[in-house]
Structure 1
Amino acid sequence: MATTTVAVINQKGGTGKTTTTINLGSALSKLGKRVLLVDLDPQGNLSYSLAVTEPKATLADAFLGNTTLQEVLVEKDGLWIAPGSNELVDIEISLVSQPEREKFLYSMLKDLKGFDYILIDCPPSLSVLTLNALTASDEVLIPLQMEVLTLQGLDQILNTVQKIKKAFNPKLKIKGIVVVMFDMRRKLSLEVLEYLQQNVKEHIFKQSIRLNVKLAEAPSFGRSIMEYDATSNGAKDYMALAEEFITR
Structure 2
Amino acid sequence: MVVYSIINQKGGTGKTTTAINLGAALNRRAKNVLLIDLDAQGNLSYSLGINDFDQSMADALLGECTINDILQERESLTVAPSDNQLADTELSLARSEGQEKALANLVKSLSGFDYILIDCPPSLSMLTINALLASDRVIIPMQMEVLSLQGLDQIVQTIEKVKKTFSKKITIDGVLPVMVDKRRKLSQEVKEYIQNNYDLRIFDSLIRSNVKASEAPSFGKSVINYKPTSNSAVDYMRFADEVLELNR
Shorter-normalised TM-score: what interval? over 0.9
Residue 42 of structure 1 corresponds to which residue in structure 2? 40
Which of 211, 221, 224 matches 2:222? 224
Give the match's secondary structure for 2:10. Answer: coil
Aligned twin of 1:51:
49
Query: What displacement does 1:228 show?
Result: 0.2
Alpha-carbon distance in 1 for matches of 2:197, 2:48: 37
> Normalising to structure 2: TM-score of the pair?
0.97
Q: Tell me the matched-pair count.
A: 246
Shift of 1:66: 1.8
Superposition deviation, residue 169 in structure 1? 4.5
Q: How does 1:153-164 map to 2 (within 5 A)?
A: 153-164=151-162
| Paired residues of 1:144 and 1:150 also in contact (CA < 8 A) | yes
The one of 215, 218, 231 aligned to 2:213: 215
Structure 1: where are the runs of 5+ without partners? Answer: none
Q: Is the CA contact (8 Å cut-off) linking 1:135 and 1:169 kept in structure 2?
A: no
Matches within 5 A, 1:130-149: 130-149=128-147
Deviation at 1:57, TM superposition (A): 1.6
> Match of 2:76, as an amino acid?
G
Alpha-carbon separation, structure 1, partners of 2:60 and 2:167: 22
Instruction: State whether structure 2 residue 67 is matched by structure 1 residue 69.
Output: yes
In the alignment, what sits opposite 2:102? 104
| Cα distance in 2 between the residues matched to 1:55 and 1:97 | 26
Residue type matched to 1:62 in 2? A
Cross-structure match for 1:199: 197
Counterpart code for 1:148: V
1:193 positional shift: 1.3
Q: Secondary structure at the match of 1:102?
A: helix
Alpha-carbon distance in structure 1 between the residues aligned to 2:190 and 2:94: 37
User: Which residue of 2 is the match for residue 185 of structure 1?
Assistant: 183
**CA offsets 1:189-240 (integer angstroms, 9 cap, x no match):** 1211121122221111000000001001000110001110001010000000
* SS of aligned partner of 2:213: helix
CA distance in 2, matches of 1:161, 1:151: 16
> Match of 2:121?
123
Overall identity of the aligned pairs, in %: 56
SS at match of 1:203: coil
SS at match of 2:234: helix
Comparing 92-101 with 41-50, greater Cα deviation is found at: 92-101
- 1:4 matched residue in structure 2: 2
What is the SS of the residue equivalent to 1:96?
Answer: helix
Letter in 1 for 2:31: K
Deviating 4+ runs (over 6 angstroms) = none
Question: Secondary structure, in 3 states, of the residue corresponding to 1:80?
Answer: strand
Per the alignment, residue 171 of structure 1 pairs with: 169
* Corresponding position of 1:233: 231
Counterparts of 1:129 and 1:243, CA distance in 2: 29
Q: Is the 8 A contact 2:194 2:200 kept in 1?
A: no
Shift of 1:96: 1.1
What root-mean-square deviation, in Å, do the aligned CA atoms of Structure 1 and Structure 2 show? 0.9
Give the Å deviation of 1:126. 0.7
* 1:17 partnered with 2:15: yes
Q: Secondary structure at the match of 1:48?
A: helix
Give the superposition deviation at 1:146.
0.6
For residue 52 of structure 1, what is the amino acid of its counterpart?
Answer: I
Asked if structure 1 preserves the Cα contact closer than 8 Å seen for 2:6 and 2:15, the reply is yes
CA contact (8 A) 1:37 1:121 kept: yes
Residue 64 of structure 1 deviates from its aligned partner by 2.2
Change (3 A) 1:242 1:169: farther
TM-score for both structures, normalised by structure 1: 0.97
